[in-house]
Amino acid sequence: MKVKTEKQLIKFKRPKSLESLAPIVPSSKALPQWYKDMASPLTYNNTLEEIHNASTLRGCMPMFDAMTQGYIIPLWCDLHVSVVFDSYDNDGKEIPRVKFEWPPGMTNITHTLKEPNFPTQVVQNHNIPQTKGAPQMEQSLGGAPAFKLNSPWIIETPKNYSSLFVPVLNNPPKNISLFSAIVATDTYHDRINFPFVWTGTEEWEGIIPMGTPLMQVIPFKRDDFQHEIVDLSQDDLDKTDSVRFQIRQTFLNSYKRFFRHKVSST
């Protein structure tokens, strides 16, 4: 079921000379390979046995709608990650340290752009007290502090719209545990950084390539809500029975046919 809505404009701004940055794309254009490799949703050309036994996540509309909401912010340059042992604890045991390196073009970009506030480091450390106690820190390799990715993007939404930033839904980047956040992108006009914890092993070394999906940004209209907790009424039970009947009325795509409200990003 399509719902007609007024189209809003979200702007992703970067310095004009950085046109080669991996582009931000609608989430619907960046579905992960594991999802694409799954068996296609079944059709009425399939046998009943196939329908009952071979349905996959590809046919789950609530999951699909989550994965296609908003936009994907990809990693904006290659990032080399390694683990070095160059310090010791009080018992003389080596302490692993996560080392991030990036191409020289990112370091020199401030001089090229003549922007004094443009980030020259792709990754920086957070001070340990800043994130102490956060559950993500339990996954941190060797008790390393949290890091932050310095984004080159400024994001602008219409008045009264904020942006929810989450790790890519159902496809978070490997070894990087990103923190989620909401930013009032209608009034906050500056680059937004992405705090994260490195969760890879001591043996892991390699390059995370430019273009790797990092964050999913979902714009939404701010609104005030109240809530209440009430007992189910007979009307609620009747509605539930009706929904269950509709779900069982067809072999395929019942939710999509009767209940889904699609809002797309372009």
Q: Are 84 and 202 in contact (CB under 8 A)?
A: no
Q: Are 155 and 217 in contact (CB under 8 A)?
A: yes
Dist. CA 77–CA 96, nearest whole Å: 25
What's the pLDDT score for residue 1? 46
Comparing C-alpha atoms, which of 176, 89, 91 is closest to residue 140? 176
Query: pLDDT confidence of 24, banded at 50, 70, 90?
Result: very high
pLDDT tens-digit map of 102-160: 888 776 655 555 565 666 788 988 877 777 778 787 888 777 788 999 998 999 999 99
Sign of torsion, CA 236 64 164 4? Answer: negative
Residue % of the chain over a pLDDT of 90:
49
Task: Indicate the DSSP class of residue 20.
Answer: T
Which amino acid appears at position 41 of this protein? P
pLDDT tens-digit map of 81-94: 998 887 766 666 77
- Tell me, rounded to whole angstroms, the distance of Cα 196 from its chain centroid: 12
What's the pLDDT score for residue 118? 66
Comparing C-alpha atoms, which of 124, 154, 135 is closest to residue 10? 154
Segment 35-47 mean pLDDT: 76
All domains of the chain in start order, with CATH: 32-67+226-258 (no CATH), 71-221 (2.70.40)
